[in-house]
Each structure stands twice: as structure tokens, then as C-alpha cells.
Amino acid sequence: METNGNKNENFIAETKSKKSSFTGKLGFVLAASGSAVGLGNLWRFPYLTAQYGGGAFILCYVLLAVFFGIALLMLEIGIGRKTGKSVIGAFPLLNKKFKWFGYFSVCIPLLIVPYYCVIGGWVLKYAWSFIVASEGLVGAGSTPAMTEGFFNSFITNPYAPLIFFLIFALVTVLIVSFGVKDGIEKMSKILMPMLAVLAVVLMVYVLCQDGSIKGLEFIFVPKVEDFSFNTLLGALGQLFYSMSIGMCIMITYGSYMKKEVSVKSSATQIAVFDSAFAFVATMIIIPAVFAFGAGEEALKTDGPALMFIQLTNVFNAIPGGGRFIGVLFFVLVFFAAVTSSVSLVEAIVAVLCEDNKMKRRTACLIVFGVIILLGSLSSLGFGVFSGFQIAGKGILDCFDFLANNILIPIGAIITCVFAGWCINKEIIPKEIGIDKNKWLNRYFNVIVKFVAPICIFIILITGLFITL
């Protein structure tokens, strides 16, 4: 192992191509946070918090994020920065036997991005509907039954969701085609701070409403009866999804990171930023449901529709400025979703363009083709193809299940086994900058070698067991 490691060191130094990179720490942290902060934070985290009973879920999430979310983020970024390669190149550079794993990893974003664009399209539709004040959705005259009907008739319509999905996918692919510095970094530098400001303004607005305090209680006071193995599993799955770990996205981003930027502090900042966003989103959506009268029951029953249906009701209940706030909110969610979908596409394009094998534009076109094909199936799965189901799941759900409940946990386990057992164990801690700190180094090793792979294995098995 030792000599293999040294040989690899030289090889890596020689082969590191002069690829474009993020200009500095801020650029990297913002772009990676842009990947992490997305529909997972604004749409998925609040409804999972609602479903799993509030405080208990939040507590599990925070503990898991602190104990191994940050370590896994550091690991992936460290592998990327060390090798300077996308997933296909990074693994064999450190251990030749792992070439296949790069190909495995890249299948995950390829499965996620098409349906991510479908949901991104829904968000776009809502942003648009608020801008043009669509009848039956926006305005004091729209009853909760009407807004629910609006949501259902939109997602089952054969054309409308397809059109919005295509626009969302096109925006994503165009941004990636401009390249790392000109596309992703520029966009993140503008959008991420804007997003943070918009979210905080909305949160303050909602928290100033009567009744919102009950929502805060729901979020922050854990109830003993809500702690269960399921809550822990839900929090763990959400952690991977939200921090974009387990599918090697952060390896690609790490490969664009300059040597002088600290992996350790960047990873910590990304984790804090990502969690903060999820909490702010939750502190908008959950207290709003209490303050505007939808009640605790709606939190439990609405599930994934929570953001779309309940918030629309909330915006409609606001006298005067509801439409304006609705536009702000859905535009914010749209920005967050685009920066995430961009990172998914970038991970695939980086593989296709590795060592100048393919032009960036050509790679983008190919990915766009795959997105159209698989995304159209997901979108039509709610209408024309609604009869097509596997184990009671529609097409979009099947892709989501395959990616999040099966492939991501497998990817995360293999990444840990790879770094913990199959390469020189000093390479990654050195790259991350924790090799001189005895305790931090030990902690990192224990998490990567034992704690993370074992816990993730439990999620995988239990997840499959519960659902199938």
C-alpha cells in the first residue's frame, strides 16, 4: 500500500492537467453550497421535518451532520482535489482496481438530474403562475380546494409540465456549457447571497405573524415519542441528499479547487450553510402553516405537496402583498434548484470531457438528450403513463428510489471503504489538512473506516426492507 501510495503521488502530480478552476475559496464554497442547497433544503427538508414530528427529526439531523456529514464532505472534496480528476479518473489514480466505481458513480447523477429537472419545472410553473397571477391559484378568491386542484391538474396535464421541464433543463445545460469559471462560479456568486437574503426576509415576515410561535415549538421542541429508528434513517437519507454526498458530486467540485484553499474549513462552511438553509426554509414553511390556519394535520398529510399547496394558501391569505411574496419565494426556490441541477450535469459533463476526449458543448448536448428522454418519462408518469407503476411507485418515484435509497448508499459505502481500506491512509488526511492534528485525524479515520460504512449499510438494508 505504502509504495503504491508514493508512486501514485508522482503520477498524480504529473497527470494533473491545467484545467479551469474556481478562482478562490469564496468561489468554491459558494458553488459547492449552490450544489448542496436546492430542492432538498427548501422542499424536502421541511416536509420530512413535518412528517417525522419536528424536533426529534431536527435533533437527529444535526447530530448526524456534525458527526459524519462533515467528515464525508471532506473526504469527497479531498479525493477530488488530490487527483484533480472527475470520478472516472480520480478512483483509478489512487487505486487501479477502482476504475469501475467511477462509471458506477456517474450513473447516479444521470438518473437524478432528469427528474430533478421535472420538479424544477413545477417550481418554474409556480413562479410563473404567481407572476401572471393565474386564476384559481393566486388571489384571495382562490380557496384551498382550488389551489389543490390547480396543483393536481397541472401535474397530470400531458403538455404543461413537459414545457416547464424542458425550459428548466435547457437553462441548466446552457449554464454548464459556459464552463466552470464563466458559468457555474459567476452564477453562484450572484445567486447564493441573493437567495440567502430572500430566505431570511421571508422567514422574518412569517415569524412576525400571530400563531407562528406554535410552528417554532413544533420545530425545536423534540417529543420523546417521535424518536424512532425510522426518524434516524430519514434524517440520514436526507443528509446525503441535501449535502450532495454519496454520488461523487463533491469529487468533481473538489477537482476544480485550488491547492491553497483549505478543504477542512470549506467543507465545514458548506455543511453549516446547507443546514442553515434547510432550517430557514423550515422556519418559513412550518410556522406559516400554523400562522395561516392550515393546522398541524396538514403538516402530516401533505407530504411532498406541502410546499406547493400549503404555501400557496398562505400567500393567498396575506392581505395585499401575497402575490409579491409568492413570486419572491418561488423565484428563490427556482434559483436554488438550478444551482443544484447544474452541479449534477457538471459531474457528468466533466467525465465526458476528461482529458479533452470530448468538447464541452458536445457533452452538454448528449446529457441534454438523456435528460429529455428520462425526464419526459418521469413527467408523463403523472398523467399519460400513470398506469405504469412498479411496487406502487410512479416513474418519477422509481428513479428517486433507485438513486436515493439504493445507489447513493452503495456509492457512499464504497467511497468510505475505498478511502479507509484500499489506499494509503495518509493521502486524504494530508490533502484535507488534518494529518498533523492527532485527534482530528483519528476521528476522521474511525468515521470513514467504520462508523459511516456501517450506518449507511443499515440505512440501505432497512430502507429496502421497509419499502419493498
Give min distance, CB of 239 to ligand PHE, in A.
Answer: 10
Give min distance, CB of 112 to ligand PHE, in A.
Answer: 6
Size of the site for ligand PHE (CB under 6 A): 15
One DSSP character per residue, 185-208 reads IHHHHHHHHHHHHHHHHHHHHHHT
The type of residue at 374 is L
CA distances from 127 to 79, 130, 304, 316, 335 (A): 38, 5, 18, 14, 11
Q: Which of residues 245-264 bind ligand PHE (CB under 6 A)?
A: 247, 249
Smaller CB distance to ligand PHE: residue 35 or 379?
Answer: 35
Instruction: Tell me how far apart the alpha carbons of residues 304 and 349 are, in angstroms, rounded to a whole number.
Output: 30
Which residue from 34, 38, 215, 381 is in contact with ligand PHE, where contact means CB under 6 A?
A: 38
Q: Which stretch binds ligand PHE (CB under 6 A): 34-42, 171-179, 190-198, 438-446?
A: 34-42
Smaller CB distance to ligand PHE: residue 33 or 142?
Answer: 33
121 binds ligand PHE (CB under 6 A): no
**Count of CA atoms in the C-beta half-sphere (13 A) of 65:** 25
Chain centre distance of CA 324: 27
Using CB atoms within 10 Å of the CB of residue 295, give its burial: 0 to 12 exposed, 13 to 18 middle, 19+ buried.
exposed
Smaller CB distance to ligand PHE: residue 275 or 312?
Answer: 275
35 binds ligand PHE (CB under 6 A): yes
The answer to whether the beta carbons of residues 411 and 105 sit under 8 Å apart is yes
343 binds ligand PHE (CB under 6 A): yes
340 binds ligand PHE (CB under 6 A): yes
The type of residue at 262 is S
Instruction: Tell me how far apart the alpha carbons of residues 45 and 278 are, in angstroms, rounded to a whole number.
Output: 6
275 binds ligand PHE (CB under 6 A): no
The answer to whether the beta carbons of residues 260 and 431 sit under 8 Å apart is no
Give min distance, CB of 371 to ligand PHE, in A.
Answer: 14
The phi and psi torsions of 187 (rounded to 5 degrees) equal -65, -45
Instruction: Tell me how far apart the alpha carbons of residues 165 and 120 are, in angstroms, rounded to a whole number.
Output: 7
Give min distance, CB of 329 to ligand PHE, in A.
Answer: 16
Give min distance, CB of 244 to ligand PHE, in A.
Answer: 4
Q: Which stretch binds ligand PHE (CB under 6 A): 77-85, 181-189, 237-245, 437-445?
A: 237-245
Which residue from 27, 34, 40, 254 is in contact with ligand PHE, where contact means CB under 6 A?
A: 40
Give min distance, CB of 338 to ligand PHE, in A.
Answer: 11
CA distances from 250 to 5, 154, 163, 443 (A): 22, 34, 30, 21
Q: Which stretch binds ligand PHE (CB under 6 A): 36-44, 67-75, 174-182, 226-234?
A: 36-44
Query: Computed from CA positions of residues 266, 69, 276, 321, in that sequence, does the dihedral angle turn out positive or negative?
Result: positive
The phi and psi torsions of 390 (rounded to 5 degrees) equal -120, 125
Smaller CB distance to ligand PHE: residue 423 or 452?
Answer: 452
Give min distance, CB of 263 to ligand PHE, in A.
Answer: 19
Instruction: Tell me how far apart the alpha carbons of residues 337 and 40 are, in angstroms, rounded to a whole number.
Output: 9
Which residue from 21, 41, 252, 376 is in contact with ligand PHE, where contact means CB under 6 A?
A: 41
**Count of CA atoms in the C-beta half-sphere (13 A) of 286:** 30
Give min distance, CB of 97 to ligand PHE, in A.
Answer: 26
- CB count in 10 Å sphere of residue 135: 12
Fill in the per-residue mask, 53 to 92: x = in contact with ligand PHE (CB under 6 A), - = not in contact: ----------------------------------------
Q: Which residues bind ligand PHE (CB under 6 A)?
A: 35-36, 38-41, 112, 241-242, 244, 247, 249, 340, 343-344
